[in-house]
Amino acid sequence: MSNGFLSQEEIDSLLNGGGSSDDGSAAEESVDNFSEEAVNSDENSLLTEVEKDLLGEVGNISMGAASTALAQCTNQPVNITTPVVSITTLGELRKEFEVPNIVLEVGYTSGIVGQNILVMKSTDAIVIANLMMGGNGEVNTEQQLSDIEISAVQEAMNQMIGSAATSMATMFAREVNISPPISRTWKENTVPLSDNIADDEKVVKISFRLTIGTLIDSNIMQILPLETAKKVIAIMMGEDTGTVEEPVQESTVQAATPAQPKTIEQQPAAYQEAPHVEASPQMQPQMQSQPQMAPQPPVEVNKVNFEPLSNGGVKPVHNNIDLILDVPLEISVVLGRTKKSIKEILDLGNGSLIELDKLADEPVEILVNGKKIANGEVVVVDENFGVRITNVISGEERIKSLK
């Protein structure tokens, strides 16, 4: 620089130095924008935004039914909402997933084709298993799932996927059947997520928000092959009607049966019904034009006698109870209760007496996991205290105690 002016070399140096940084940043930004646009363009070529919204709505309704099944298993309010639809591959998902996870896969055998995979985080599975086995859901989520806990969670997921399939059958107005579920614990990212879907095959990932009471606020994932997703879209848009099973109108026709006996003996465990003939639209005019049948001779019909319901309450149906037969339960005996003020509690010392609200010969309460199941009396067995059960409460009383 001389006389306050820049030389030509200094000007060129400044231009080259400043321009290189700006050009590099602009080039990097251009590459990033191009990559993002390429990904969006690739997804839009496979599924449009309208089709993604439709899949999200189908998933929202079917998983809503699944949340009801999960709520019954955990006895907690469950919400599965906010579906987010994207296209990826199982290979890409394997890189994103944190292991271990619980994976449940079913195949559709009728109504639609393809597979359906449900993926749940192991940290959520631990809480669900604890709730299913009578706990309060407050557990260490870093602990390993035991075999009995894995079985409990897999059973809950079976109920969820079955309820979702039933909901889809209602939406599609056709029968939707699934194969027996295959469930496993996915512990390593190097292991294939599915034996029926290739790692490089395009799949549709639908991520849902999962909340269970105040215990879980997480995500659960549903994975469909692209072919299955296209089939669902075609059915919902009315473009796939080839396999729709139309309900067949049934018409009851009473045929003259001279050889029929006049008296029908009513048996408590069986009944007889009139024959049903499936009538197509072409057959209906012919049936209407036929002359009226001669009236049948009167038959003796006896009223069905049902056995009276017992007062012991309804016996609960234990589905898959064998899975949790070895789960330990805590049994406690309550001799009595009382209330004391803080001052009285602070005044307690050695030799103080606390009077309970029960008489000496009054039965004590027997609790299992904090729930009353029976009454009994205190006895001594080999120098140890014991309880002899005198009364087991009915199922109706147990249900009332849970409300």
| Residues 218-261: tens digit of each pLDDT | 999 999 999 999 999 999 888 876 544 444 344 333 434 444 44
Distances (CA, A) of 358 to 22, 335, 342, 353, 365: 86, 8, 22, 14, 11
Total number of domains constituting the chain: 3
What DSSP designation does 369 have?
T
Same domain, 21 and 122: no
Q: Which residue has the higher pLDDT, 284 or 141?
A: 141
Is position 56 within any domain?
yes
Is position 36 within any domain?
yes
From the list 39, 42, 19, 43, the residue with the least C-alpha distance to 31 is 39
Q: What is the mean pLDDT of residues 347-356?
A: 86
pLDDT digits (tens, 9 = 90+) for 114-140: 999 999 998 999 999 999 988 889 888
* pLDDT at residue 328 in the model: 83
Read off the pTM.
Answer: 0.52
- CA dihedral (347, 353, 359, 365) in degrees, to 10, reads 70
Is the per-residue pLDDT at 322 higher than 80? no
* pLDDT at residue 16 in the model: 67
Same domain, 224 and 360: no
Domain boundary pick from 193, 218, 236: 236
* pLDDT at residue 395 in the model: 72
Same domain, 87 and 40: no
Same domain, 112 and 176: yes
Is the per-residue pLDDT at 274 higher than 70? no
Give burial (CB, 10 Å; 0-12/13-18/19+) of 228.
Answer: buried
Q: How confident is the model at residue 281 (pLDDT cuts 50, 70, 90)?
A: very low
**Sheet of 364-368: strands edge to edge?**
331-334, 364-368, 371-381, 384-392
186: β partners: 101
| Domain that includes residue 333, residue range | 329-345+355-402
Is the per-residue pLDDT at 291 higher than 60? no
Domain boundary pick from 202, 236, 270: 236
Q: How confident is the model at residue 263 (pLDDT cuts 50, 70, 90)?
A: very low
Average pLDDT value over all residues in the chain: 76
Report the helix count and the strand count for the chain, using DSSP H and E. Answer: 9, 13
Domain boundary pick from 236, 270, 298: 236
Same domain, 55 and 191: yes
Structure tokens at 82: 């906010």
CATH number at residue 209: 3.40.1550.10
Is position 312 within any domain?
no
Q: What is the mean pLDDT of residues 282-292?
A: 44
Q: Alpha helices of 341-394 — where are they, by DSSP H?
A: 342-346
Same domain, 59 and 182: yes
Same domain, 199 and 119: yes
3 state SS for 285-326? HHHHHCCCCCCCCCCECCCCCCCCCCCCCCCCCCCCHHHHCC
